[in-house]
Amino acid sequence: MNKLILLHGALGSSSQLKNLADNLSKDFEVYSFDFSGHGSKSKTECDFSIRLFADELDRFIIENEINNPFIFGYSMGGYVAIYHQLEYNTKIKAIFTLATKFDWTAENAAKEVRLMDADIIMQKVPKFADELKSVHGVRWTNVISKTAAFMTELGYNPLLKSDNLIQLQIPLLVAVGDRDNMVTIDETLNVHKLVTNSHLHVFSNMIHPINKVNTDRLANEVKLYFSKFNT
C-alpha cells in the first residue's frame, strides 16, 4: 500500500486532519505528526521556521522508515513539503498542497500578523480562541505569538521563490479554494506555471480553514491525483 504523510498548517495540529486521514486510510498507509510547538508538542520551546519544520519532516520519514511516500500539505504544511523536497535527498513520489500561501512579502505578512493578537481574538472571535485552546491547550497564546514572528520573518525572507521553484522535479498539485481570503488563485497559478510537472486545482465554494473543508470532497481529489503514480 502506498504511504501518505499529512502535514498540518500554521496554528493547527495533526488532530485537524484526522477526518481526512480516516477517509484516506483504505487507500493509503497514512501518517501524520505535530510540528514542534503545536498540538501534542505545544510544550516544546523553539522558534518556528520552515527550515525547522522541514527538518522535522525529514527526521519523521527516516525514523518511521517511510519509503517513497506521497505528501499532502495543508496551508503551511504545503510550503514545508515543497521546501523539504528542494533541500533534502529524501525520495518523495508527489506532493498535493491545499491553501498554501506562496506570495510572502513584508506587506502580506504584516496583514496576516495583524490578526494574531490573543486578546483581540478572545474578545472578537471567542469561538476561534476556544478552538485554539482545544488544539494547543493552555499554551495557545504562545503558539499565536510564535506564529506571528515566524510569518514576519517569512515575509522578509521567503524560502520559495521562482529561482528554486523551477527546480522542483517531482509531480506537484497546487489547490486553492475560490473563496479563500488568505491565498489567491493568482499566486497559486504562478507556482503552477513555474513548476514543469505540476497541476492546478481550484475548489469551488471553498474557504481557507481546514475545519470548514468538505473532507469527502478533498479526499476524493487527493486519491484521484495520487492514483496517477501508483506502483
Q: pLDDT digit string (tens) for 121-140?
A: 998 889 989 999 999 988 89
| Domain contains 180 | yes
| Domain contains 142 | no
Instruction: Give residue 8's domain range.
Output: 3-104+159-229
Among 117-131, 166-180, 216-230, the least confident range:
117-131
State the alpha helices, DSSP H only, in 114-182. Answer: 118-124, 126-136, 140-156, 162-165
- pLDDT at res. 45: 81
Rounded to the nearest 10°, the torsion over CA 205, 17, 141, 154 is -70
- Does the pLDDT at position 230 exceed 80? no
- pLDDT at res. 117: 87
| Domain contains 137 | no
- pLDDT at res. 116: 87
| Domain contains 115 | no
- Does the pLDDT at position 214 exceed 90? yes
| Domain contains 84 | yes
Only one residue has cell 504544511, namely 77
Q: Find the farthest-apart pair of alpha carbons in the chain and give their distance in angstroms, rounded.
A: 52
| Domain contains 62 | yes
Going by pLDDT thresholds of 50, 70 and 90, the confidence category of residue 41 is confident
User: Whole-model pTM above 0.85?
Assistant: yes
C-alpha cell belonging to residue 43: 510544550
Distance CA 155, CA 108 (A): 7
Going by pLDDT thresholds of 50, 70 and 90, the confidence category of residue 165 is very high
H/E stretch holding 22: helix 18-24
Among 28-32, 76-80, 123-127, 209-213, the least confident range:
123-127
Instruction: Report percent pLDDT > 90 for the chain.
Output: 83
Cβ neighbours for 55, distance < 8 A, ≥ 6 positions apart? none
- Does the pLDDT at position 25 exceed 90? yes
Instruction: From 228, 213, 149, select the one nearest 6 (Cα to Cα).
Output: 213
Output the CA–CA distances (angstroms, integers) from residue 19 to 24, 67, 214, in the order listed: 9, 24, 10
- pLDDT at res. 39: 86
| Domain contains 140 | no
Average pLDDT score over residue span 162-177: 96
| Domain contains 164 | yes
Instruction: Report percent pLDDT > 70 for the chain.
Output: 100
Going by pLDDT thresholds of 50, 70 and 90, the confidence category of residue 231 is low
Report the number of distinct structural domains present in the chain: 1
CATH number at residue 11: 3.40.50.1820
